[in-house]
Amino acid sequence: MRLAGIISAMSESNLTDDIERQQKYLDELKKYRPQLFEKPMSDPSRVARKIGINQTEEMPRGYIRLFATDFIVEEVRSSREVVSLDPGELIGETLDSEGQTYYCDLVKVNTTTHDAITQLAQGLNLPVTAFGYAGIKDKTALTSQKISIRKTTADDLEKVNLPNLLLKNCRLGKGAIANGDLVGNRFTIMVRAEKPVDEAQINSQIDLIKSRGVLNYYGLQRFGPPRILSSALGEYILRRQYEKTIKTFLVSTSDFELPAYTQIREDAKSVYGQWQKMLELFEKLPFTFRHEIAILRHLNSKNNDFLGALRATGDQPKMWVYAYNSYLFNLLLSSLNQLGDKLPEDLPAAVSKTAIEQNVYAKLDLQIPPGNDYELRLLGISENTSKTPTRIYPEFTVPAKLTAEGLILSFILPKGAYATTMLSNLFTIYEAHPIPEWVKKTEYDLKKELGQGDLTGIKARLTFGQSDHGFRSPPHP
């Protein structure tokens, strides 16, 4: 199909169809405009500053997530049970025959938790509110977690057949899983190193991490890569600058983003305010730009209703405000550490009554906007009363293993902590495009290498298609 035909075929559809149509469009575009899929390598120290981390120590260079199987995340439940990646039977032992909730293990690859839930909701003909989960797992990764599904049946669950996710061990019971209902996550990660890893040095660094812990910075995923705009959008929302939020989200460009996407944003900027024309541009990529499309469809029907347009994106405004709080947390923690100040055990969210009353963030000399009123509640935003530890102590479950490509390691982090933050204490981390020339491309079964089972079963059940980084796992024989 030619490019024009692909574009014209893109109309409202379900998520799976959108993904397939978009991939066809991108594949066709890449054939005759490959330069739109090239960009310079990002400087990790510059990325760190964008998310509020102002000190970076020189470390050996390492690359992560070449394959989804290079980054494995398994949820650790409150009972300390690790949700297994191993495929099993769909229906498990009944917990309570009078219940209306199925508790299932969800294994997914190369998709976000939100998108996996959306696909399941469409497949089961349920609202997304019928689903519960404790935390969001990485996109470019192989992950497992427990979810709850209300008001479905075993027969309906049997019909679920999606290439990038698997349901198993579904047990009937009562109640639902709530956000935060977990201890943490077990990470199993391959770091592909630029130079051979010094075994004695790396083990010494790991021992130091075990005893001293690491600073608990929020990781890049919190800030809406690749453009890293989420914290700015959150600030604009808190300042009630709704049109500025919308315009920035739609047309602001970044050299962190692929030119193929940047070009669409630049074209949209030239017709800003002509919502239908902008919509037609963004509909070329109906999956990547699904939130932009939701905004523009709303504005096309209700011109200049910017608050309503933000509501059309679901949880995005709340996530952007979370990112703003996270940016200020990183900024303050970085500043305190640089000054050599004694770190408090934890810090409250910057946009909270506690932080304002106690002048916790006074060192930053910023005018932090308030975070609670009627309009913000319409966007699902309420005061964040939680506190975040300033330091965490990773639990290394097995010894790290050196390979010809780099290092394989496994560790447990408490909920809300970022594996990339921990890894930055061992390497200067690179990920995504472009892939450095020094990265070696042998794929490993990380579980097998560490004596934690293997990935044979799950690789036979899921489709490990093209990841954001452009590499496909070879099919399992």
Report whether 102 contacts 183 (CB < 8 A): no
Range in 36-45, 133-142, 328-337, 391-400 with the lowest mean pLDDT = 36-45
**Of 278-287, 332-341, 381-390, 464-473, which has the strongest mean pLDDT?**
278-287
Query: Which residue has better confidence, 401 or 373?
Result: 401
Q: Give the model's pLDDT for residue 369.
A: 83
Q: Give the model's pLDDT for residue 432.
A: 84
For residue range 391-423, list pLDDT tens digits in order: 999 999 899 999 999 999 999 999 999 999 999
Q: Give the model's pLDDT for residue 333.
A: 96
| Full-model pTM | 0.89
Q: Give the model's pLDDT for residue 474.
A: 38
Q: Give the model's pLDDT for residue 96.
A: 87
Burial 443-475 (b: 16+ CB within 10 A, else e): bbebbebbebeebeebbeebebeebbbebebee
- Residue 189 binned pLDDT confidence (cut-offs 50, 70, 90): very high
Q: Give the model's pLDDT for residue 56.
A: 67
Q: Give the model's pLDDT for residue 469.
A: 46
- Beta-bridge partner residues of 407: 191, 402
Q: Using a pLDDT cut of 90, give the percent of the chain over it.
A: 73
For residue range 418-455, list pLDDT tens digits in order: 999 999 999 999 998 889 999 999 999 999 999 999 99
Question: Which residue in 136, 107, 67 sits closest to 461, CA to CA?
Answer: 107
For residue range 299-330, list pLDDT tens digits in order: 999 999 999 999 999 989 999 999 999 999 99
Four-CA torsion 468, 62, 58, 200, nearest 10 degrees:
150
For residue range 79-115, list pLDDT tens digits in order: 889 999 999 899 988 888 889 999 999 999 999 999 9
Distance of alpha carbon 74 from its chain centroid, rounded? 14
Is residue 186 classed as helix, strand or coil in its secondary structure? strand
How far CA 257 is from CA of 40, 42, 70, 263, in Å, comes to 10, 10, 23, 10
**Mean pLDDT throughout 154-160?**
93
Range in 16-20, 106-110, 125-129 with the lowest mean pLDDT = 16-20
- Angle formed at CA 393 by CA 388 and CA 395, multiple of 5 degrees: 130
Neighbouring residues of 284: CB distance < 8 A, sequence distance ≥ 6:
7, 10, 25, 264
For residue range 237-251, list pLDDT tens digits in order: 999 999 999 999 999
Q: In the 8-state DSSP scheme, what is residue 34?
A: G
**Mean pLDDT throughout 185-193?**
98
**Mean pLDDT throughout 150-155?**
94
Neighbouring residues of 167: CB distance < 8 A, sequence distance ≥ 6:
90, 104, 105, 106, 120, 157, 160
For residue range 261-297, list pLDDT tens digits in order: 999 999 999 999 999 999 999 999 999 999 999 999 9
Q: Give the model's pLDDT for residue 372.
A: 67
Q: Give the model's pLDDT for residue 329.
A: 97
Token pair, residue 224, equals: 């809406």
Mean model confidence pLDDT for the chain: 90
Range in 1-10, 199-208, 378-387 with the lowest mean pLDDT = 1-10
Is residue 19 classed as helix, strand or coil in its secondary structure? helix
**Mean pLDDT throughout 30-37?**
92
Neighbouring residues of 301: CB distance < 8 A, sequence distance ≥ 6:
none
